Chain A
Amino acid sequence: MESRFVRIAVRLGAGFTMAFLYVPLVVVVIYAFNKSVSGAWPPQLFTLKWFHVAWQDSNLHTALWTSIVAAICATCIALLLGTLASFAVHRFSFFGRDAVSFILVLPIALPGIVTALALSSAVESSRTSIGLTFGLAAIILGHATFCVVVVYNNVIARLRRTPGSLTEASMDLGGDGPTTFRRVTLPNMRTALIAGALLAFGLSFDEIVVTKYLAGTVLTLPLWIYGNIQRAFNRPIVNVVALVVLVLSMIPIYIAQRLTGTAQGITSAEAEAEEAGPG
């Protein structure tokens, strides 16, 4: 239906956009093996030296470990809260039901500096009352808050696709509430739960915008990168760490996308189409 000219133009435009998305990432991969400290293009000699240098940095080990611990804790909280909320929204109708997903996406949808400054002000003001200080606990609380939405989206999308007849059949066959949950509902939810957890993990592992305001003196992997990104001398090591972080966080995300069979952003189109907004 489109003219030949239009078809060619669309193809070229689509190709340009894909190139724009991937060329910078490919550049990071190439430079990680660059022997020279300078960033001149094209790199002349390649080496694995910088991987070795990065491997021996003890600050990096601590930072990596902190990031993993924070991401695991935030994921567990998000998994619990996101699943509970999705069951509530799916099963009951109540006043303000449409607003639930809106509230959950707010920490991600609002400007980053606002969320960061708000959470840091809250930690500061609660220091005297409940003794919460900047550090790992504050990071976990903050991360969990915006990880809830990805778990919620995954689980509610699955709940909507699951026919109610399965639960009814289980009940008819004599399964009580807990049995039905354990033998029917949970197995059915399994991949959605795993995918939600992996996405939440990836989100937390990579987070810097809010983390920078909550970390105090604690160092996470993104904070380490932030601290060294400005130093031209450290560029080769930052580049190696960047490549490792890229690969490490892409693995869980890749598995999550395969498990759900849908490519999803932070607000999964599938879940949001029926759900989002108080409109």
Chain B
Amino acid sequence: MATTSVAPSGARRPFTRRASAFLFRHRGVQLTFTLGPTLSWMVVIYLFSLVVLLISSFWTLNPLTAQVEHTWSLKNYQTILHGSVYWRVTLRTVLLAAAVTVTDVLLAFPLSYYAARMASPRVRNALLFAVVMPLWANYLVKVFAWKTMLAGGGPLDAFLGIFGWHPAVGTSIYAVWLTLSYIWLPYVILPILAAFERVPFSYLEASSDLGARSGRTFRKIVMPLVMPGVVAASIFSFSLTLGDYLAVSLVGKTLLLGNLIDQLAGGTANNKPLAAALAMIPLVIMAIYLLVARALHAFEAL
């Protein structure tokens, strides 16, 4: 029946038939055709790029000619190891990443709990949707929103002024902390919300039947169950904070890993090899973080 209905293209059909029969018998060929292009793309473009970055971190910049010398040397890594500024910036960035993560987790908890346990399915879906839309909103628009919010005499000043509070947030590290916490918040909420939804209702009932109050139930039952979700969420807030170089310099003046690497890579410094070596710091921190997260089974909750 199929063959009669496609009579007009009958001339082509035998070939496609033979081709599909061939592919059906040779699954390896089929796999090569489906997975091959994507895998080669990722390897050729992305992994190759990372390797180039690693290699270029062993090159050096000749300070006299301002040319990159393609000879292997550990000079950049020695510079980083001996320069206390790099250590301080790394520590500051890690602390900021931790602060942003904690802030976002604290903000995510009540909303996730509400959506997963207290809201009707309709409200829950609406909330989920409302969380996802800002995630996809333009990054620079979100940065700009906070520049506007934080400006002297702007909305935040006016709002806090009602309570007689005039903190000079300005372009301090608190401005960076607020902005980054804002931008990464939806990334943090989604895994935590998913984790809350996986908590079986009956466990909470059992806990309260056995005499635990809500505080105890939360600590002993809910927390351990949502922890993989929290770790999965923190991968995003941590990694994104470590690697951010735009928001941190648009709303603040603090030197952090991202904008330090950015400044070294371009502008007057133009020391790409040193920037590449410095970029290994967030990369290594994230590699360790991912290994720990994997050990905590956080990937299943991602």
Contacts and interface: CB of A to CB of B under 8 A. Distances in A.
Interface stretch (A44-52, A58-66, A269-277): A269-277
A7 interface: yes
A141 interface: yes
Interface stretch (A34-42, A160-168, A185-193): A34-42
A178 B144 contact: no
A87 to B, nearest CB: 5
Contact of A31 (B49, B148, B194, B276): B148
19 contacts: A16-B110, A17-B189, A22-B130, A27-B149, A39-B153, A77-B41, A111-B244, A112-B240, A112-B244, A113-B243, A117-B261, A119-B49, A121-B52, A125-B56, A173-B1, A178-B20, A239-B144, A263-B128, A265-B186
Given A80-B37, A113-B262, A121-B56, A41 B158 contact: yes
Given A121-B272, A124-B272, 12 more contacts: A18-B127, A104-B38, A112-B258, A113-B258, A114-B53, A121-B49, A122-B52, A176-B2, A176-B16, A246-B137, A277-B299, A279-B297
A196 interface: no
A21 B130 contact: yes
A177 B246 contact: no
B88 to A, nearest CB: 18
A113 B52 contact: no
Contacts of A110: 239, 243, 283, 286
Contact of A111 (B34, B39, B286): B286
B6 to A, nearest CB: 8
Interface in A200-230: 202-203, 206-209, 212-213, 222, 225-226, 229-230
B12 to A, nearest CB: 10
Contacts of A18: 111, 127, 130
Nearest to B12: A178
A103 interface: yes
A2 B151 CA distance: 41
A133 to B, nearest CB: 16
A38 to B, nearest CB: 8
Contacts of B109: 13
Contact of B35 (A3, A84, A212): A84
B146 to A, nearest CB: 6
Interface in B192-220: 194, 204-205, 208, 213-214
Interface in B10-49: 16-17, 20-21, 23-24, 27, 30-31, 33-35, 37-39, 41-42, 45-46, 48-49
A84 B130 contact: no
Contacts of B114: 10-11, 13-14
Interface residues of B, number: 109
A142 to B, nearest CB: 8
Contacts of A16: 107, 110
Contacts of A179: 2, 6
Contact of B275 (A94, A117, A174): A117
Contacts of B48: 122
Interface string B145-160: 1111101011101100
Contacts of A264: 132
B258 A148 contact: no
B92 interface: no
A272 B190 CA distance: 12
Interface string A250-279: 100110010000011111010011001111
B255 interface: no
Contacts of A100: 35, 39
